[in-house]
Structure 1
Amino acid sequence: MPLNLDTVIDRHATGSKKWSQYPADVLPMWVADMDFPVAPVIIEALQKRLEHPMLGYCVAQDSLRQTLVEHLWSAYGWRVEPQELIFLPGVMPGVNMALNALVRPGKPVIVQTPNYSPLLLCAANWSLPRVDLPFSADANGEYHTDIAALKKALPGAGAFVMSNPHNPLGKVFSREELQQIGDACLANDTLIISDEIHADILFDGRKHTPIASLSPELARRTITLMSASKAYNIAGLKTAFAIVQDPELRHRFNSGRLDMVDSVNAMGLEATQVAYAQGGEWLAQVQAYLQANRNYLADALKTRFPGIQMHLPQSTYLAWLDCSGLGLVNPQKFFLEKAKVALSAGPEFGEDCKQYVRLNFGCPRPLLEEGLARMERSLQGL
């Protein structure tokens, strides 16, 4: 059945972080949380689960493990065994578990920039030095990993932390680029920690490639972190999973819980099962809608915002906007105060990103249109 994703649903007074962060007259287009209703099949499954009156501590059932094994094979051609899955309350707890358990004190952590703020900050959580690896851009505005710089930075490094697909750039890594990254890490025996939370949202027929799926050697040196939370809009259920294929690495990784990373939400496990087993049709429609929103945004920027540049996102529902042509000191503050539109501030993603903002287009088209109209009016007279 076709979805009606144009309907705007009021999220005020629901405890929504996205809609509670700013006053009611501000249109929030910042945090990576879509303004679409959850797939009906997931809602139905949660309602059915609540017919049972017990909500105690839960563990993943064999059926969920098998569903994920089948999903990883059908989506990516990646053969994973059920025992190689570790369930977590979020991707970032997994990243921090890995750094704490697997990286020796004093060893640098390499992170590409710009990048998702918690990935930039996680090394400091464990007093580990961070090495920034800026992306390079070609004449077409495509972002690429500087392999030569990576090889120079890797000797002695404890981990390479990546976002694949990339947030905020919306970049989908090619198999060739991932292989180059993987080969460089293997040559230096460097652990790879790969945040692949946006793996299910790609545009223009692209396919996601988990870096660990490229070879058994890479699988043995990689912690892969995934979740249904972004694609299926269930982030509030706090459920994710790690794929760790080497038994020793898996044991050491799990030891990093230290009673800080607890068991997983009972409803989150239920929702994850149903999302990957039955949510494909819903996701296909949402993905098509997101791609249309992306294209609408790109056309609007070209025709109505000559001072803003955007490289077309290949993945995610997040647009990385270069506002340097507007001549503003602080674009995020300007649009918040003058347009009443809340965007993510560029410096959250890297020190050299003061002229950037990140815009979430994962919303009904009327909200996207309203946000752009407000931004356009705020720029009149500049």
Structure 2
Amino acid sequence: MTTRQTTFNFDLELDRTHTDSDKWDKYKGQDILPMWVADSDFQSPPEVIEALQERVSHGIFGYTHSSEKLTELFIARLAEKYQWQVEPEWVVYLPGLVCGLNLAARTLTDDGQTIISPSPIYPPFISSAKFAERPLIKAPVVLNEGRWLPDLDAAEAQLTGKGGLFQMCNPLNPGGTVYRREELEATLAFAEKHDLFVCSDEIHCDLLLDDSLTHIPFASLNESAAQRSITLMAPSKTFNIAGLGASIAIIPNAEIRKRFSKVKRGIVPGVNVLAFTAAEAAYEHGEPWLQAQLNYLASHRDLLMTEINAIPGLKLEHIEATYLAWIDCSGLPADNPHRFFEEAGVGLSPGLDFGNRRFVRLNFGCTRKTLDEALKRMKAAVAEL
């Protein structure tokens, strides 16, 4: 590995329309800016690109497995960033985080047991309960002093007493909330009281936009949290390598890990060789690029906070993490905010997919030029109402 770069150009405009991109092909041939699905328009760290080029030049792509080095890098990262001491045997590699949510739903619940999920939430949380044929209880996500958090009291009132699974998302998608320690401890107390396992989606944990905040993995709280949990992480959002498919489940409880592997066996494929290559390079060399990206995203967040809240009918709460803005359109005189902005040339994620049709989600993992144009179109559309 020879590439060493200290400055990165996140304003670089790259044409993705010829790359079979889900994000960009959705509006192929239309003058609509794609700002929906959560991948960014940034080139991955140069060391990741170089590592992939070196691996491809070898020319043989047989069956593969993770390297000891990758596991060591990941464990060292958790210890350094989050003060979480993880054992190598706890680590299970997956070809994506969504399959991890579905595996956890099947692993941690029996027939008739309930899955409790925040709402609004990333859609695969909801579908994982549906696919596992488990009853779903929604814990409404409400504003708490300007931060979006699940209402555990509202969820408790719906519980049947049969145990089950609590799904959490930290940082929250959508909403961007980073859980504080006391909020995690309250979640743990809730799980202990009602004999619940916890699946914690922490895929955005590296994308904190406020220097004053620290991500705390749920399972790192104490032994009780560790033994009742599955934690899902990945380098995919952090380093923009989601299309390669490399995710990680951390499962401290040996019995749960055994059950998880049994449910997975013969159904979920292994991680491919290029995904492992990219993950290893990202975790070993990607930190300077990540810090530069966070600075860039934070400036986008600050711009959005100013501009969106100046548009009549729209409201945006402070985004602590992720590059996803959860915009309240309830003051907008438009029956379908998603369609309204789509017709104005801005392709956002519909809030209905997450559980609230009066919202839209905007992906600001893009160049400043793209963001400026999107805001220009949104302002003009609302001004014409």
The alignment of Structure 1 onto Structure 2 pairs a total of residues equal to: 377
The one-letter code matched in structure 2 to 1:374 is R
The corresponding residue for 2:380 is: 377
State whether structure 2 residue 208 is matched by structure 1 residue 202: yes
The corresponding residue for 1:64 is: 70
The corresponding residue for 1:243 is: 250
The corresponding residue for 1:219 is: 226
Q: What is the deviation of 1:330?
A: 0.1
After the TM superposition, which residues 69-108 of structure 1 pair with which residues of structure 2 at under 5 Å, given as runs? Answer: 69-108=75-114
The corresponding residue for 2:28 is: 23
TM-score by length of 1: 0.96
The one-letter code matched in structure 2 to 1:2 is T
Residues 267-326 of structure 1: CA deviation (Å, up to 9, x unaligned): 1111111111110000000011000000011111233x1210000110000000011111
Q: Is the 8 A contact 1:98 1:256 kept in 2?
A: no
Q: Is the 8 A contact 2:314 2:330 kept in 1?
A: yes
SS at match of 1:66: helix
Residues 83-105 of structure 1: CA deviation (Å, up to 9, x unaligned): 11000001111111121233101
Q: 2:175 aligns with which of 161, 169, 189?
A: 169
The one-letter code matched in structure 1 to 2:262 is S
Aligned-residue Cα RMSD (Å) equals 1.2
The corresponding residue for 2:358 is: 355
Unaligned runs of 5+ in 2: 1-5
Quote the sequence identity (%). 40
Q: What is the deviation of 1:153?
A: 4.3
The one-letter code matched in structure 1 to 2:150 is T
The corresponding residue for 1:148 is: 153
The one-letter code matched in structure 2 to 1:198 is H
Range moving further from structure 2, 18-27 or 114-123: 18-27
The corresponding residue for 1:309 is: 315
The corresponding residue for 2:259 is: 252
State whether structure 2 residue 61 is matched by structure 1 residue 50: no
Residues 336-360 of structure 1: CA deviation (Å, up to 9, x unaligned): 12x111000011001xx11110000
SS at match of 1:325: coil
The corresponding residue for 1:269 is: 276
The corresponding residue for 1:123 is: 129
Paired with 1:129 and 1:316, the residues of 2 have a C-alpha distance of 29
The corresponding residue for 1:11 is: 16
After the TM superposition, which residues 333-344 of structure 1 pair with which residues of structure 2 at under 5 Å, given as runs? Answer: 333-337=339-343, 339-344=344-349
Q: What is the deviation of 1:188?
A: 2.5
- Residues 319 and 248 of structure 1, relative CA distance in 2, 3 Å threshold: same
Residues 18-57 of structure 1: CA deviation (Å, up to 9, x unaligned): 0001133211000001011111010011111122221112
The one-letter code matched in structure 2 to 1:19 is W
Q: What is the deviation of 1:4?
A: 1.3
SS at match of 1:131: strand
The corresponding residue for 1:37 is: 43
State whether structure 2 residue 296 is matched by structure 1 residue 296: no
SS at match of 2:167: strand
SS at match of 2:184: helix
Residues 207-251 of structure 1: CA deviation (Å, up to 9, x unaligned): 111100000111011000000000100000011010001111111
The one-letter code matched in structure 2 to 1:32 is A
Unaligned runs of 5+ in 1: none
Paired with 1:225 and 1:234, the residues of 2 have a C-alpha distance of 16
Q: What is the deviation of 1:150?
A: 4.0
Range moving further from structure 2, 273-282 or 371-380: 371-380
